[in-house]
Amino acid sequence: MTDVVLFHSVLGLRPVEIRAAGRLRAAGHTVSTPDLYAGQVATTLEEGFELKDRIGWATIVRRAQDAMDSLPDSTVLAGFSMGAGVVDSLLPRRPDTAGVLLLHGLATIPGAARAGLPAQLHVADPDPFARPADVAAWRAAAGGARATAQVFTYPGAGHFYLDADLPDHDGQAAALTWQRILTFLDTLTQ
């Protein structure tokens, strides 16, 4: 199947990412979940941003790059919220990635990306971290970068709608998202 690296949100590596990795493994994929915060987690966004700032973006990206060293060049880059920003930092250095999967956040598809790079974006609608204008700009930029981009928005869902442990959770949106993700990953192996 497909190799996937799944980067966590600003809250740290939590059960939502572990469950997501388990779901993907059950579908036959190989999944890595690097802990970019070295065991630290936050319970609120405010704490998460403080933690991210204390660790520092350069350290977070270095840890992500280190985690990628042992993975195939074709590994799918996936990220939850802040994890999409990590994908953004890594993608220019990973031209052979099989695809990009963005959950709750945006990442730039570089202009030098290979033609047809598969990319899938899943965000709430509205989402304070992925406003409709930002999503439209992402779609246009991905097209300009010649990526094959799919954009899925989930009206009325909260930012972290996939996370069953948070108030934003939306079971119906989550089920549809996972169906779409599994189809996306299956198409990468064909």
Q: What's the pLDDT score for residue 122?
A: 97
Residue 53 has pLDDT above 90, yes or no: yes
Q: How far apart are CA 96 and CA 16, in angstroms?
A: 27
Mean pLDDT on 104-117: 87
Report domain extents, the chain. Answer: 3-188
Question: Between residues 26 and 144, which one has the greater pLDDT?
Answer: 26
Cis peptide before 34 (omega within 30 of 0): no
* CA–centroid distance for 177 within its chain: 12
Assess contact for 167 and 160: CB atoms under 8 A. no
Cα separation, 158 vs 164, in Å, equals 11
What integer pLDDT is reported at residue 190 of this predicted model?
62
Q: How far apart are CA 28 and CA 9, in angstroms?
A: 24
Q: Is residue 181 within 8 Å of residue 187, measured between CB atoms? A: no
What confidence category does residue 175 fall into, taking pLDDT thresholds of 50, 70 and 90?
A: very high
Span 76-97, average pLDDT: 94
- Is 100:158 a contact under the CB 8 Å cutoff? no
When comparing pLDDT for 121 and 145, which is higher?
121
| Arithmetic mean of pLDDT over the chain | 94
SS3 67: helix
pTM here? Answer: 0.95
Which residues neighbour 23 within 8 Å (Cβ) at sequence distance 6 or greater?
A: 178
Could you tell me which residue, 190 or 50, shows the higher pLDDT?
Answer: 50
Give the architecture (CATH level 2) of 3-188.
3-Layer(aba) Sandwich (3.40)
- How many contiguous H segments (helices) and E segments (strands) does the chain have? 6, 6
Residue 6: its H or E element: strand 3-7
What is the pLDDT, as a whole number, of residue 90? 94
What pLDDT, in 10s, does the model give residues 158-168?
A: 999 999 999 99
Residue 110 in this model has a pLDDT that exceeds 90: no
| pLDDT computed for residue 146 by the predictor | 86
What is the per-residue pLDDT across 132-141, written as a single tens digit (0 to 9) for each? Answer: 999 999 998 8
What sign does the CA torsion over 103, 14, 83, 22 have? negative
pLDDT tens, residue by residue, 3-27: 999 999 999 999 999 999 999 999 9
Average pLDDT over residues 130-153: 90
